Structure 1
Amino acid sequence: MPYSRSRLLSYLFAGLLAISCSKDSPAPTTPTRDENLALGNPSGATTDANNPTNYLLVKSQYTLSYHRDRGIPNWVSWHLSSAWLGSADRQDNFAADNELPAGWYRVTTSSYTGSGFDRGHNCPSADRTSSAADNSATFLMTNITPQAPNNNQRTWVGLENYCRTLVDQGNELYIICGSYGRGGVGSNGAATTLDNGRVTVPDRCWKVVVVLPVGTNDVQRISTSTRVIAINVPNDNTVNTNWATYRTTVDAIEQATGYDLLSAVPTAVQKTLEASVDKGPTS
């Protein structure tokens, strides 16, 4: 009898300890695919075909504002977590976007042929590798901008790779990028347009990255201590290969573009985050 009572007390103690630990250590949140435009619509883009300079295209993989007369996106917004990443191959199937309104000129991969500018992804191919369909979506020409090769292949890709490193470290990201201005310098020299004027070569390429630990209610979790990386890079083949050289404020990008970035974030938090230059690690 004393032996049985001792064992019973041991089981009760172990049970209470397990309950206590479960309360103190909640199960980790599983990464999910969240709303690509959760942080706001920077330009108030709409799906009205009578608004050709700020036309909203909503894909499963990203959301963008398209400028018909420039033949490139104004901005592209997407969410990045490990739920978007997998083992799908790079499809390399650049294609015109058939979701554009009827009668609009549709840029094709040949629009860039011999131009000296890369077909630069906004939402990167490597950010959408969960399936072949997801990866193919990044090769639609509405997600592409003429980029100087050294910008696209070195500076820009450096930040893209770092973003995925942040995901590997247990974070999820909200990313918005775009371009503005007119005229860049590619491998063949300076140019303002491609494809007989149908595609504008931008002067600057910018990106904003909001970094959060994996969790839920993402917008509500953004605080004045949330890390925000903003860069603004000249579209020039002599660009510095270190993306950190071009860190700036969100305020500066907003002033240059006229957009309202992070508009879904509470105003007081926005004010602090948008005025700060990131000084965090770069690899």
Structure 2
Amino acid sequence: MKKLFICSLLFFCFTIISKAQTLNEQIQTYKQEQKNLEQKLTTTKNQLDSLKLLKIIEDLNAVGLPKSDFKDEVITHSAMILTYAEEFEQARWVMHIITPDIAQTSFGRSNDFREDEKVSTGSAKQEDYFLVDTLENGKLEYDGFGYDRGHLAPSADFRWSEKALSESFLYSNMSPQKAEFNREVWAHLEDALRAYVIKNNTSLYVVTLPILSQDVQKIERGVNKVAIPKRYAKIAIDLKNSRGIAFLLPNAASTSLLTTFTTSIDEIEKLTQIDFFSNLSDELENRLESMTDGKEWIPSDEQQDVAAIDPMSLPKGYFNTNQAKYKTKSNKKVTICGTVVSTKLSSKGNIFINLDRAFPNQVFTVSIFADKVKNFPYKPEEYLKGKTICVTGKVSDYNGTPSMSVENGKSIVLYEEKEE
């Protein structure tokens, strides 16, 4: 009986071990299959990306590369085409396509700035923008020349392709930009075009141009004396929705709305003596290149925003919303004028009024606290909406936004009723 029990126990144990071995074998088999599938998926994705890149270059040529009498060298990369203006040591134009693939940000910013070996005369290089010395302690000391290496075709437009992203850091795609321009209004324009692509599920054909002329200054400390453009242009067409637009911006800080910088592609052609999208039918080209309305091209949360009042049109002692930030430390009453683009009545009964730009991009906010609302002969959040007003009081800084708290209706007058 004892032997029978031992045999049964051994058989049971053997069965368990055999089943465990079988399960382990199955697990290993499925792991290998998973690995094979992942490798196949990676290979397929790489092949797909390669085809997408080829299609981009094909499509760029199909609509027509910019034409001019300039004898610049044409350089074709994986996802962008440019002409290199040797005299100015930068591209005269860079053309690329923003596709809906930008929603798939597969790769992070590479920062692998390097010379463009395809430029036969040699492109600009790091030493054109700054110098780096290694100190005795091993640390690096940077000596900058005062300008950002500003992307013409922005790197974020290529984050779905590792190869295209890397090539966006070639110095042939760089131009000297003031930091407050490159990192603010220029970046905002780039963001706006990407947002347009995602919102409309479309592709944009984009040409970016530094405005090059003989009177531009150069970075004298750089080895190649790169020219410093005074202005930049960015033009875009959306064939799916039959829209076209151009932006012309000074190489300087700006708090103006993007719509302030809109113009027609025709005007950029006149300015640069370059013909864009020449392979399109004459009818379509003429229609797209004459458009100037920038409303559809800016983010949704900026649609209701308006430009600040021209300060030169205001009486002495009156200021626009852009000037309000300079009055936060004066501790004196001033008058700020602007258009009411948004209002909010909070659950506690407080009223907040934004002039010229709506939340969350507000540039000047008027606050009427609940206990002061009774001092107004109207409902401020309703009556003032859409009106241009002038508000008098002390300007303070509230979380970075110039703000003014008012106590009664006499502090607010309609713009047309202001004192001259």
Q: Measure the CA separation in 2 of the matches of 1:181 and 1:107.
A: 16
CA shift at 1:182, angstroms? 4.7
For the structure 1 residues 276 and 116, does the alpha-carbon distance in structure 2 shift closer, same or farther, using more than 3 Å as the test? same
For the structure 1 residues 197 and 251, does the alpha-carbon distance in structure 2 shift closer, same or farther, using more than 3 Å as the test? same
For the structure 1 residues 198 and 57, does the alpha-carbon distance in structure 2 shift closer, same or farther, using more than 3 Å as the test? same
Q: Measure the CA separation in 1 of the matches of 2:161 and 2:282.
A: 37
- Aligned positions of 1:17-36 closer than 5 A: 33-34=55-56, 35-36=59-60
- Which residue in the other structure is 1:273 paired with? 288
Instruction: Provide the aligned length of Structure 1 versus Structure 2.
Output: 228
- Which residue in the other structure is 2:347 paired with? none
- Which residue in the other structure is 1:15 paired with? none
Q: Measure the CA separation in 2 of the matches of 1:97 and 1:71.
A: 11
- Which residue in the other structure is 1:117 paired with? 147
Question: Would the aligned equivalents of 1:155 and 1:240 in 2 still touch at CA under 8 Å?
Answer: yes
Residue 242 of structure 2 aligns with an amino acid whose one-letter code is T
User: Are 2:35 and 1:54 aligned?
Assistant: no
SS in 2 for 1:78: strand
RMSD: 2.5
- Aligned positions of 1:73-222 closer than 5 A: 73-83=91-101, 85-101=104-120, 104-113=121-130, 114-169=144-199, 170-182=201-213, 191-194=217-220, 195-196=222-223, 198-213=225-240
Query: Which one has more relative contact order, counting CA pairs under 8 Å at least 6 apart?
Result: 1
- Structure with larger Rg: 2
TM-score (norm 2): 0.50
Structure 1 or 2: more helix by fraction: 2
For the structure 1 residues 96 and 196, does the alpha-carbon distance in structure 2 shift closer, same or farther, using more than 3 Å as the test? closer
Q: Measure the CA separation in 1 of the matches of 2:232 and 2:62.
A: 22
- Which residue in the other structure is 2:18 paired with? none
For the structure 1 residues 135 and 208, does the alpha-carbon distance in structure 2 shift closer, same or farther, using more than 3 Å as the test? same
- Which string of whole-angstrom CA distances, capped at 9 and with x for unpartnered residues, describes residues 139-191 of structure 1? 0000111112222111111121111112222111110111123599xxxxx94
For the structure 1 residues 212 and 274, does the alpha-carbon distance in structure 2 shift closer, same or farther, using more than 3 Å as the test? closer
For the structure 1 residues 235 and 37, does the alpha-carbon distance in structure 2 shift closer, same or farther, using more than 3 Å as the test? farther
Residue 140 of structure 1 aligns with an amino acid whose one-letter code is L
* Residue segments in structure 2 that go unaligned for 5+ positions in a row: 1-51, 131-143, 300-420
Question: Would the aligned equivalents of 1:62 and 1:77 in 2 still touch at CA under 8 Å?
Answer: yes
CA shift at 1:86, angstroms? 2.9
- Which residue in the other structure is 1:26 paired with? none
For the structure 1 residues 241 and 118, does the alpha-carbon distance in structure 2 shift closer, same or farther, using more than 3 Å as the test? farther
Question: Would the aligned equivalents of 2:78 and 2:163 in 1 still touch at CA under 8 Å?
Answer: no
CA shift at 1:72, angstroms? 0.5
